[in-house]
Amino acid sequence: MQVASRFGLSVALTTPFDASGRIAIPLMTAHAQACLDAGCSSVTLFGTTGEGASVGTAERQPVIDAMLAAGIPADQLVAGVLVDAAEDAAEQSRQALQRGARNILLAPPSYFKNVGDDGLFGWFAAVFAALGPLARGMLLYNIPSVTTVQLSLGLIGRLRKAYPGVVAGVKDSGGDWAYSEALLKAHGDLIILIGDERHLAPAVRIGGQGAISGMANFAARELRAMIESGRDDSRVEGFVLELLRRPVIPAVKAMVARQAGDERWLTVRPPLEPVALQERQQLGAAYDRLFATQAA
């Protein structure tokens, strides 16, 4: 399948919660628009950075509807689906696709361990069958550090051959450059996106179409420049290492809170816990130190 244009940069949008634990929808829509204004080409809702595994099916539709009501076009929305039951995956996908979402970021099931390609193929096939004619724009999500499942190149090939109008691409958050490089060589005519920002520029140079990135919540301009130029940015690479020294999702929220001057962003849903004040201060100091210098 040939793609018409580069996917670009999608922010893996953080999800703000109010004091009672509900999604703070107005704050979320305002942040989505700010990320688009900063250079993102689309917004990914309910992904890993957005604590999508903690956001229930009934909570999602009001968020999508609010994004549309705020003037964000449906074709600038991607919805993450991070569940185990094929029925639930289909329902969450259906909500977004019926509203015109550009893509679904679909992770494999993660509860059962040591599953093979045949079983994974059957699970994805069940999701697509449940969606019927709605099925389209599926970005297969390779994130083995979370799911313990690495999507093999063979499985991706089987799925795209069986569902040529459905499987649109792969988001690779494995952090393994050898895999990313092999993925691009084998399936580079699909939308191949990188989740580990350290590998973004090298991937773009050999055909990668962009990224769905948590760092785009606070560093969209720098990441977009990497996608447009294919040039490495040592500041971005250095700050990824700082994030990885901490629980990444709360750390990204800490950076959004710092940039926005709004501590509401610090709230995470259990079982996650916020980053401690000292860690937030160290993270902020590292950001200032790195981004005060020019890219190498």
- SS3 call for 210: strand
Phi, psi of 123 (to 5 degrees): -65, -50
Cα dihedral: 51, 180, 227, 146 (round 10): 10
3-state helix, strand, coil in the chain (%, to 5): 50, 15, 35
| Residues contributing to the annotated binding site | 49, 212
Q: Mark whether 163 is an active-site residue.
A: no
| Residues contributing to the annotated binding site for pyruvate | 49, 212
Residue type at 169? G
* Catalytic-labelled residue, pool 141, 179, 253, 287: 141
d(CA 98, CA 54): 22
What single DSSP character describes residue 42? E
d(CA 222, CA 267): 26
- Please check whether residue 27 is in contact with residue 33, taking contact to mean a CB–CB distance below 8 angstroms: no
The catalytic residues are: 141, 171
